[in-house]
Amino acid sequence: MLGYPFQLDLAFIAKLWERLSRFLVGRDSQAYGSLLPTIEQLTEVCQAAFWASLQKQESRPVTFSLAFIPPDESPNAFTFERAAYLNPESIARLAPALHDSKSVIGVWPEDGQLVIWGFTSGTAMSTSGSLPYWFVDPNMGWPLTIQVQEPGKLIVRAQHRAVALVSCRRVAFLEEQDRIWETALWSKIPLGLDSLIGQEEHRLQIFQSLFKIAQAARAHGRSGMLLVVPEDEEWKNSVQHPILYSGRAPFDCARTCLSQYVSGYESPLSQQGDIVDHILSPENIETYQLLNQSLDAIGQLTAVDGATVLTYGLRVLAFGVKVRPIHAERRPDRVRLTEPIEGARAKIIAVAELGNTRHQSAAQFVFDQKGAIAFVVSQDEKITLMTWDDGLQVITAVGHAELLFN
């Protein structure tokens, strides 16, 4: 075990190992059981990644993804002739070579000691039903991954599920995404009004698309706002006129690509493994790439000052839009704020406490347009998701929503 000036809480590591064991071994012991680290190995990997995240290379912070997997299980692996010992310095030296790529640093025990054997530019593929229709981040497919996107902050993943957050201020387990989706998004996506959302199962495809767009909005490094609205003209009552940038082409490409994925599948949720084969088949891989490029292009629009307006059917209506209240005297005064952290309690706060002008504008929009949802990206890359809760009759905001798809 490497020595560090501060150690992670051992009780937290023990609970983390139990959860990883449940996710990896409980679901498919033949495929993933042998890839579960020991508690000691998990502690060492987390410690090394955490301290590596605090280092800099040529005055720049390092970002990286680290996977616990042997080289013979890794597609497109670049294996070093001489493995490097796992320590913060080795990780920090290698990280710049993989910056802004989808590669992950490979870690595995060798002669009883954890080493960095190389890296891989591919994702572990599976048809066991563990993969989403496409990946918000391809690294999600690894059995165990630790992601670092900012100093002192780790996201621990099992397969495509974000399990835990480790930061300088706290360690916490993340709430399962299904609950956030169900309470904040699921009921907002209308069925039958768009050919792309013809049945219940199609809502998951829209979730994946919206999260991919939000990730692209986060990646451009500027703050931004994405407003998702029903297929009607009501949203225009909540924005200033004239609208400088409006129109639909060429962004309808995302709709075309997405519709190809569900053709021939009556129940995508129950045939997820087949969907993966379908999407990644040679005849569909080009469409897969084009879809991701199209969603990225929509996300890039949020870099323009103002909001990007998108329908639930992925039609881009406008960008650079300025939000205004329908009635000047009717403004929201409170928000119900939650976080995707296990055990976190929802609290009622004043709208002014939610954030800057962009956050307050988004709150105003979903207050006036109760069928809409809003994603707000801050300059520090934090994402707040907002919508109107019909049951509680209040705006619900999900803070740190980036943890849902980080």
Domain of residue 59, CATH code: 3.40.1700
Question: How much is the CA Rg of the chain, to the nearest whole Å?
Answer: 22
- Total-model pTM: 0.76
d(CA 139, CA 55): 22
106 and 39 together in one domain: yes
Average of pLDDT values for 108-112? 92
d(CA 147, CA 64): 6
Please determine, for residue 293, whether its predicted confidence score (pLDDT) is greater than 50: yes
48 inside domain: yes
Percent of the chain topping pLDDT 90? 35
Please tell me whether the peptide bond between 242 and the residue prior to it is cis, using omega within 30 degrees of 0: yes
5 inside domain: no
- Can you read off the two tokens belonging to residue 378? 């801050």
d(CA 176, CA 198): 26
- pLDDT of 140 reads 45
- pLDDT of 198 reads 61
1 inside domain: no
**Ramachandran sector of residue 137 (left: φ over 0; alpha: ψ -120 to 50; beta: rest):** beta
Please determine, for residue 272, whether its predicted confidence score (pLDDT) is greater than 50: no
Which of residues 71 and 100 earns the better pLDDT score? 71
3 inside domain: no
| CA end-to-end span of the chain | 29
373 and 352 together in one domain: yes
Task: Give the domain-ending residue among 145, 173, 201.
Answer: 173
Query: Is-contact 176 160, C-beta < 8 A?
Result: no
Per-residue DSSP letter, 266: S
- Can you read off the two tokens belonging to residue 120? 């891989």
Residue 243 confidence class, pLDDT cut points 50, 70, 90? confident
Domain count, the chain: 2
d(CA 399, CA 359): 11
Please determine, for residue 122, whether its predicted confidence score (pLDDT) is greater than 60: no
- Can you read off the two tokens belonging to residue 193? 């009004």
Task: Give the domain-ending residue among 122, 143, 173.
Answer: 173
Average pLDDT score, the chain: 80
Single-letter code of the amino acid located at 11? A
Single-letter code of the amino acid located at 67? A
Which of residues 229 and 124 earns the better pLDDT score? 229
335 inside domain: yes
Please determine, for residue 202, whether its predicted confidence score (pLDDT) is greater than 80: no
111 and 197 together in one domain: no
2 inside domain: no
Chain-centre distance for alpha carbon 155: 11
389 and 284 together in one domain: yes
Task: Give the domain-ending residue among 143, 173, 203.
Answer: 173
124 and 249 together in one domain: no
Residues whose CB is less than 8 angstroms from the CB of residue 163 and which lie 6 or more positions away in sequence, other chains included = 16, 19, 20, 23, 156, 157, 173, 174
Average of pLDDT values for 271-288? 58
Which of residues 363 and 223 earns the better pLDDT score? 363
Query: Is-contact 336 394, C-beta < 8 A?
Result: yes
Which of residues 103 and 262 earns the better pLDDT score? 103
25 and 159 together in one domain: yes
Query: Is-contact 142 4, C-beta < 8 A?
Result: no
189 and 315 together in one domain: yes
Query: Does an H or E element contain 246, and which?
Result: strand 245-246
d(CA 15, CA 149): 24
Average of pLDDT values for 71-83? 85
127 and 211 together in one domain: no
167 and 201 together in one domain: no
d(CA 322, CA 178): 32
Please determine, for residue 328, whether its predicted confidence score (pLDDT) is greater than 60: yes
Please determine, for residue 124, whether its predicted confidence score (pLDDT) is greater than 60: no
- pLDDT of 143 reads 78
Percent of the chain topping pLDDT 70? 77
57 inside domain: yes
71 and 122 together in one domain: yes
304 and 257 together in one domain: yes
Please tell me whether the peptide bond between 250 and the residue prior to it is cis, using omega within 30 degrees of 0: yes
Per-residue DSSP letter, 255: H
Residue 197 confidence class, pLDDT cut points 50, 70, 90? low
Q: 3-class DSSP state for residue 289?
A: helix
Residue 319 confidence class, pLDDT cut points 50, 70, 90? very high
Q: Is the dihedral of CA 219, 225, 231, 236 positive or negative?
A: negative
117 and 231 together in one domain: no
> What is the DSSP annotation of 192-241?
SSSTT--STTHHHHHHHHHHHHHHHHHHTSS-EEEEEE-SSSGGGGGB-S
CATH number at residue 277: 3.40.1700.10
- pLDDT of 167 reads 85
- pLDDT of 192 reads 62
4 inside domain: no
pLDDT in tens, 125-176: 433 333 343 443 444 456 788 988 789 889 898 876 788 888 887 888 887 6
pLDDT in tens, 359-374: 999 999 999 999 999 9
- pLDDT of 10 reads 85
Please give the residue range of the domain that contains residue 329.
177-404
- pLDDT of 113 reads 94
The residue among 94, 103, 85 whose CA lies nearest residue 55 is 94
- pLDDT of 390 reads 85
